[in-house]
Amino acid sequence: MSPTVSSSKNPINEFFEWFGDLGIFFWQVMRAAVTPPFEFRELFRQLDEIGSKSLPLVAAAGAAIGVVLSLETRHSLIRFGAKSMLPTAIVFSVVHEMGPIVTGLIVSGRVGAGIGAELASMKVTEQIDAIEASAVNPYRLLAATRILACILMLPLLTLTADFCALMMGWVSQALAEPISLYKFINDGFRGANFNDLLPPTLKTAMFGLIIGLIACFQGMRTRGGAGGVGRAAMNSVVLSSLFVILGNVVLVKLIIIFFP
C-alpha cells in the first residue's frame, strides 16, 4: 500500500513561489508599458479614479493628523519647557513621516481594494481573456495604466495631506494660543532645506508602485468565482499595506544615508 501524499503545499515554497510570480508579472507589465500603442485614455481615467476620488479622504486624514499632532506635541513640549519648538515639531513630523505613511496606507486601503476587486471580477467573468483575444495586451491596458497612475498620484496626494495637516495644526495651535499663520510657517520651516522636504515626498512614488503592482497582481491571478474576488480585494489591501510599511523602513534608511 503506497504512502499517502499530502496535497498541501509547503508554506515556504508558496512564499517563494508568490514572489517569483510577482517578479514575472512585474517584468511583463514593464515590457508591455514601453511597447506602443500607449493607452493614454485609460491612464487619464485612472489618474482621476486614483487621484481625484482619493483626495477628500486623504485631506480629511491629513487634517486629523495635524490636529492630533498639535494637541499631543503641545502637551509634551510644555512639560519639557520647549513650547517654542511646537511649529518646527509639527512641520517636521508631518513632512518627514506622518504625511507620507498615512497617505500610503489610506490609498492602499481605498485604491488597493478597488483595483484588486475590479480586476478580479474581470478575471472570473473572463473579460480579461476577451481583451486578450481582441489583440489588446491586458498588461498594458489594465495593469500598466493603474500602476503608473498610482506612482504619479501618490506624491501629489501626499502634498495635499501635508498641507491639510499643517493648516489644521496651525488652527489647533491658534485656538490654544494666538499665533499668526506667517509666524507658524516661518518658525516651522526655519532650518529646513531640500533634504528635509523633497525626498520624503518623492518616496511615496515607490509606495504607489507597491500598491498598484500588488493590487493588479492579486486581481489578475484570481480564481474561484465570487469568493476569489473577495479574497483578491482583501489580499490587495493587506499585502500592499504591509509592504508599504516595510518599504517605508528601507526608504527612510536610504534617505538618511543619501540625504543626511
Using one digit for the tens of pLDDT, what is the confidence trace for 189-216? 887 787 788 899 999 999 999 999 999 9
- What angle in degrees, to the nearest 10, is found between the helix axes of 225-258 and 194-202? 160
pLDDT at 9: 67
The CA distance from 216 to 238, in Å, is 14
Structural domain includes residue 12: no
- Count of structural domains within the chain: 1
Structural domain includes residue 228: yes
Q: How many CB atoms lie within 10 A of CB 148?
A: 20
Lowest mean per-residue pLDDT among 28-37, 48-57, 189-198 = 189-198
DSSP 3-state helix, strand, coil percentages of the chain (rounded to 5)? 85, 0, 15
Which range of residues forms the domain containing residue 235?
40-258
Structural domain includes residue 32: no
Structural domain includes residue 7: no
Q: How many residues are recorded in the chain?
A: 260
pLDDT at 8: 55
Structural domain includes residue 27: no
**What 3-state DSSP class applies to 186?**
helix
Backbone CA torsion sign across 210, 242, 19, 229: negative
pTM for this structure? Answer: 0.90
Structural domain includes residue 57: yes
Is the pLDDT score of 164 beyond 70?
yes
Structural domain includes residue 159: yes
Residue indicated by cell numbers 483626495? 55
Whole-number average pLDDT of the chain = 88
Is the pLDDT score of 43 beyond 90?
yes
- Contact of 66 with 169, CB cutoff 8 Å: yes
Give me Rg for the CA atoms of the chain: 22
Residue indicated by cell numbers 517636521? 92
Structural domain includes residue 21: no
